[in-house]
Homo-oligomer: A and B are copies of this chain.
């Protein structure tokens, strides 16, 4: 059984009896077949979260009319809703500085499963042009200095708007984006921080970890917010280190983690499996 086109609904609402019923009733009576449904109740805040995905093949309402048709339920249950369609690829920009292992992981994997449309690569280093060319993706070298920072961010913003970018992946981009820029992309910028947050916020976390003498290092993918390294965490991984590991070994071991958490987080985002509430994420399987 191969399903080609699906609709995906993400919901957050105050928990209330009849909520699930209302949604399944809507889908059933419009001739839809539910393929995936996952729900979560945050008991301390009494918030209900749901992701529901159904087959568009037999569905009785056209794509363009679905949003309006959900209006009644939405109001009755005070739902925050987002609606996505599996056929719509998300337009993405990848930002990168010196190291390219995260970029390569994203490019290689997207070549396999084709979940996003990578519209452009932005870097403050010229050297990644070759790999971008190899993958046929437009490359923009935008160097950043203290003096030109505002200007260059404006240039970036124009690019994002021209290309209708819906997701920015910071694949080891070592510049801090301004709150104004970040504010335009709420929960639409994913960053990989090379530590097990909230340990070692800020610069060179491997050096910090090495100096502290930890026995495990980690990596964190999170949405970017105004506060540095404080956004909602999407994915984390850790690996053991010991006194035998030099600082360089921390960096080396960390690369594997960084690649994996960023790939996992990006994929979850592209599959519309993440809901954010109270600076925390619900990440459905």
Chain A residues proximal to chain B, CB less than 8 Å: 1, 17-18, 20-21, 24-25, 27-28, 31-44, 46, 58, 101, 104, 108, 134, 196-200, 212-216, 218, 232-238, 242-244, 246, 256, 260, 278-283, 285
Please name all residues of chain B whose beta carbon is closer than 8 Å to the beta carbon of A237 when the two chains form the complex.
216
- In the docked arrangement, what's the CA distance between A282 and B242, Å? 8
Chain A at the B interface: SS class: mixed
- In the docked arrangement, what's the CA distance between A184 and B238, Å? 35
Establish whether residues A1 and B46, one from each chain, have CB atoms under 8 Å apart when the complex forms: yes
Partner of A236, one of B27, B28, B43, B214: B214
Establish whether residues B198 and A243, one from each chain, have CB atoms under 8 Å apart when the complex forms: no
Given A35-B41, A215-B235, verify A244-B196 contact (CB < 8 Å).
no
- In the docked arrangement, what's the CA distance between A216 and B199, Å? 12
A174 to chain B, nearest CB (A): 18
Copies of this chain in the oligomer: 4
Establish whether residues B243 and A214, one from each chain, have CB atoms under 8 Å apart when the complex forms: no
A166 to chain B, nearest CB (A): 23
Establish whether residues A43 and B1, one from each chain, have CB atoms under 8 Å apart when the complex forms: yes
Establish whether residues B238 and A212, one from each chain, have CB atoms under 8 Å apart when the complex forms: no
Please name all residues of chain B whose beta carbon is closer than 8 Å to the beta carbon of A1 when the two chains form the complex.
43, 46
Establish whether residues A20 and B39, one from each chain, have CB atoms under 8 Å apart when the complex forms: no
Given A243-B283, A280-B243, verify A197-B218 contact (CB < 8 Å).
no
Establish whether residues A21 and B27, one from each chain, have CB atoms under 8 Å apart when the complex forms: yes
Please name all residues of chain B whose beta carbon is closer than 8 Å to the beta carbon of A213 when the two chains form the complex.
232-233, 278-281
Q: Can you list 14 A-B contacts (CB < 8 A)?
A: A25-B25, A104-B104, A104-B108, A197-B199, A212-B233, A212-B280, A213-B280, A214-B233, A215-B234, A215-B235, A216-B218, A216-B238, A242-B283, A243-B282
Please name all residues of chain B whose beta carbon is closer than 8 Å to the beta carbon of A32 when the two chains form the complex.
17
- In the docked arrangement, what's the CA distance between A40 and B243, Å? 8
